[in-house]
């Protein structure tokens, strides 16, 4: 029987970029000790107070079908949060609660892309971005940024790619690079979106993890609120990755249509999870800082380690829970280096090529293990890279 091209072409006919990760997991299942610096999974679990709120809600009976758009309580909480942080008037009618940020990304593209339309995204990118656009029936087209520009996208590059496009997907703070887009960058993006009549889909799931600079939501820029869909999530801000609770914030008419989509696809998010999310968002910034602080601390450790050597370069680590490391001095690709590192030292990292061609010759390191093990692993990576760089220079 024949399957649809939409489902068989999600990865564009190539690897989905997770080969090294899968190999590391196989090694672990076979009993090998592997230091995992791959995916963005916190090394702490969801705070007990959030779990208690979730359990209390379930015990009190909020286990049936919840309202498809989301509970009024959580929609109001998300709206108030975004209005307070951005100054843009926001009500529950601007909010759809979704089963995580990934579901929100898919729904946002379904909302604005017809089959065959071009959806733009920036390279390097989170590994699911192109497949998400294809899943919506659109053609995924990348725009390469460069390490030399600090992976800040240039407005002229976006404009040059926009002739057939209807949407642009951006992500700041950025996964995988850790870059926070500057006001100049976002102003340029906004100018192109207005001039080219593009929808902007802004993935802001790391907005509580900003180490340098300031997070600016493009929805705040002139003329952008009516053409921007903001994707948010509880996963990174509150270590609730498994709870699958996110949202889309956008114009009321778009949210109305997205509620129809949710009715025919996800049919909402469990009420007890939404109640826990409402509790978490109202618990105050202290809880968010407790989740974020380990990554800021490990970033400082990493900067000290990396400044003491010359074989590995660091892309400005301004936000999120990752480091993008330049290992081009070794003469290896990111994939070649990651596989060699896994073989030699049982340390698993993500190749830059998993996130597009712009990050070739880089690796992404997740700062998701305890400080002592993280520092030891990073020193091993640097020493391994230095040996390879010396051999490469001697060839």
Backbone angles phi, psi at 357, to 5 degrees: -75, -25
pLDDT at 39: 92
To 10 degrees, what angle do helices 100-112 and 252-264 make? 110
Give the pLDDT of the chain (395 residues) as one tens digit per residue.
999 988 888 887 666 668 899 999 999 999 999 999 999 999 999 999 999 999 999 999 999 999 999 999 999 999 999 999 999 999 999 999 999 999 999 999 999 999 999 999 999 999 999 999 999 999 999 999 999 999 999 999 999 999 999 999 999 999 999 999 999 999 999 999 999 999 999 999 999 999 999 999 999 999 999 999 999 999 999 999 999 999 999 999 999 999 999 999 999 999 999 999 999 999 999 999 999 999 999 999 999 999 999 999 999 999 999 999 999 999 999 999 999 999 999 999 999 999 999 999 999 999 999 999 999 999 999 999 999 999 999 98
What is the reported pLDDT for 9? 86
pLDDT, residue 13, reads: 64
Neighbours of 300 (CB within 10 A): 13
Give backbone dihedrals phi and psi of 323, rounded to 5 degrees, phi first. Answer: -120, 135
- Taking a C-beta distance cutoff of 8 angstroms, is the pair 181, 221 a contact? no
| Residue 176 contacts residue 126 (beta carbons within 8 Å) | yes
Q: Is 206 helix (H, G, I), strand (E, B) or coil?
A: coil
How far apart are alpha carbons 375 and 23 in whole angstroms?
23
Which residues pair with residue 20 across a beta bridge? none
Rg (CA), the chain: 21
**Res 16: pLDDT:** 61
Taking the C-alpha atoms of residue 314 and residue 212, their distance in angstroms, rounded to an integer, is 14
Q: Please return the burial class of 313, using the count of CB atoms within 10 Å of its CB with bins 0-12, 13-18 and 19+.
A: middle
| Structure-token match 């970029």, residue found | 17
Peptide bond into 173 cis (omega under 30): yes
Give buried/exposed letters for 375-394 (b at 16+ CB in 10 A, else e): bebbebbbebbbebbeeeee
pLDDT at 293: 97
pTM exceeding 0.85: yes
Give the per-residue pLDDT at 133.
Answer: 97
Are the C-beta atoms of 101 and 272 separated by less than 8 Å?
A: no
Q: Take residue 76 and report the two structure tokens written for it.
A: 């109001």
Residue 342 neighbours by CB distance under 10 Å: 20
**Domains identified in the chain and CATH numbers:** 5-45+286-394 (3.90.1150.10), 64-283 (3.40.640.10)
């Amino acid at each position: 029987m024949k399957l649809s091209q939409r489902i068989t072409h999600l990865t564009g006919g190539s690897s989905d970029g997770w080969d090294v990760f899968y190999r590391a997991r196989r090694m672990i299942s076979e009993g090998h000790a592997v230091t995992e610096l791959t995916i963005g999974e916190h090394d702490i679990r969801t705070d007990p107070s959030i779990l208690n709120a979730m359990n209390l809600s379930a015990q009190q009976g909020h286990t049936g079908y919840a309202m498809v758009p989301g509970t009024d309580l959580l929609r109001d909480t998300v709206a108030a949060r975004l209005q307070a942080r951005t100054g843009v008037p926001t009500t529950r009618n601007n909010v759809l609660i979704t089963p995580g940020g990934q579901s929100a990304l898919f729904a946002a593209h379904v909302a604005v892309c017809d089959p065959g339309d071009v959806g733009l995204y920036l390279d390097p990118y989170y590994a699911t971005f192109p497949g998400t656009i294809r899943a919506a029936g659109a053609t995924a087209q990348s725009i390469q940024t460069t390490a030399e520009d600090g992976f800040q996208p240039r407005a002229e590059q976006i404009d040059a790619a926009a002739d057939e496009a209807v949407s642009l997907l951006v992500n700041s703070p950025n996964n995988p690079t850790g870059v926070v887009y500057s006001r100049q960058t976002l102003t340029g993006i906004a100018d192109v979106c207005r001039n080219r009549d593009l929808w902007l889909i802004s993935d802001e799931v790391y907005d509580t993890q900003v180490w340098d600079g300031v997070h600016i939501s493009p929805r705040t820029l002139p003329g952008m609120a009516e053409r921007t869909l903001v994707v948010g999530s509880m996963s990174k801000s509150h270590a609730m990755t498994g709870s699958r609770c996110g949202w889309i914030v956008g114009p009321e008419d778009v949210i109305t249509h997205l509620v129809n989509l949710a009715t025919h696809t996800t049919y909402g998010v469990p009420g007890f999870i939404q109640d826990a999310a409402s509790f978490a968002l109202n618990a105050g910034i202290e809880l968010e800082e407790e989740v974020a602080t380990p990554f800021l601390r490990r970033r400082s450790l990493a900067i000290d380690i990396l400044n003491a050597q010359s074989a590995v370069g660091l892309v400005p680590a301004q936000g999120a829970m990752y480091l993008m490391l330049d290992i081009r001095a070794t003469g290896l690709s990111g994939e070649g280096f990651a596989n060699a590192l896994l073989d030699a030292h049982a340390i698993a990292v993500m190749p830059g090529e998993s996130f597009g061609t712009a990050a070739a010759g880089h690796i992404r390191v997740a700062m998701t293990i305890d400080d002592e093990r993280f520092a030891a692993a990073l020193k091993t990576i640097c020493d391994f890279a230095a040996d390879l760089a010396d051999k490469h220079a001697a060839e």
